[in-house]
Amino acid sequence: MNPFFIGWSSRISLPLAGFLGCALAALLVGFGALAFALGVTVDDPGGGVFTGDKDITGVLIADPYPMIVTDQNHHTIMLSGGGKRGVQTEARPLDGKHVRATGYGVKRGDRDLLLVTNLQAAPGDATPPVREPLGTWRLTGEICDGKCSLGVMRPGTRPAHKACANVCLIGGVPPVFITTTVLFGTRYLLMGDPDNHAVPDAVRDYVAITTRMDGTLERIGDALVFRTDVTRAAVP
């Protein structure tokens, strides 16, 4: 029997059919193994969720980035605006005051962020929240924007998200440092510079890659703030 394909014939010789069957099976197994190998190298993006409409009250802290320590449970919630922008302009006049904020919430792990639609002063106790210095640390992790990494985008981390994260940071979205290991019960630290101001533009060079940085930690409410000089960051 001729093992070659005959263009005018609708039949395939048995030896060629066997070869094609084996080749197809090998391709399916090979591509399946490749897909599995690539998949296991990517972190699980789960855990970041939209939590719906929120109406919160508490004391607002404007620096290094706006946050509210809520009246209920003294839970610290980061603030951002709609789109790729922060709310520093709205928050600055309300620094240290008791406020009411409404918007839409996102959450990953123990950290929450509110996409603010309205922010205003409100009657209530404006006692400053407890602030606890936690010393100097050398930490390894990844810088991300605090909006996408908490659940607005998935996965919201790693090099594929670098350009998107940098646009968010340019617009004033709070940056977070996601540590490689759990620290005081969390891996998500709000960032600031050593003087408790917003981080400089140099932060964009280190976004979405593993970096090692030295700085000080402070607990505000139940959130950790990592103050560091990003210009001295190192790639391990």
Alpha helices in the chain (DSSP H): 14-40, 88-91, 162-170
In this structure, are residues 5 and 11 in contact, taking their beta carbons and an 8 Å threshold? no
Q: Which pLDDT band holds residue 74 (cuts at 50, 70, 90)?
A: very high
pLDDT for residue 43: 52
Q: Which of 215, 217, 223, 197 is nearest to 130 (CA)?
A: 223
* Calpha distance 208→158 (Å, rounded): 5
Note the pLDDT tens digit of each residue in 151-180: 777 666 667 788 999 999 999 999 999 999
List beta partners, residue 98: 59
List beta partners, residue 68: 60, 77
* DSSP secondary structure letter of residue 236: -
* Calpha distance 87→81 (Å, rounded): 6
Give the mean pLDDT of 103-126. 94
| Domains, in order of start, for the chain | 48-121 (2.40.50), 131-232 (no CATH)
List beta partners, residue 52: 105
Give the mean pLDDT of 42-53. 66
Q: What Cα–Cα distance (Å) separates residue 211 from each residue in 34, 154, 156, 172, 205?
A: 29, 21, 17, 21, 11
pLDDT for residue 32: 81
For residue 48, pLDDT beyond 70 = no
pLDDT for residue 39: 52
* Calpha distance 69→220 (Å, rounded): 8
List beta partners, residue 143: 177, 207
Average pLDDT over the chain reads 87
61-75 exposure pattern, b = at least 16 Cβ within 10 A, e = fewer: bbbbbbbbbbeeeeb
pLDDT for residue 45: 46
pLDDT for residue 22: 82
Q: Which of 219, 227, 197 is nearest to 69 (CA)?
A: 219
Residue 85 vs residue 46, higher pLDDT: 85
* Calpha distance 172→5 (Å, rounded): 64
Q: Which of 91, 56, 90, 54 is nearest to 71 (CA)?
A: 56
- What is the rounded end-to-end Cα distance, in angstroms, of the chain? 64
Q: Which pLDDT band holds residue 109 (cuts at 50, 70, 90)?
A: confident
Percent of the chain with pLDDT over 70: 84
* DSSP secondary structure letter of residue 207: B
Note the pLDDT tens digit of each residue in 190-231: 999 999 999 999 999 999 999 999 999 999 999 999 999 999
Residue 27 vs residue 54, higher pLDDT: 54
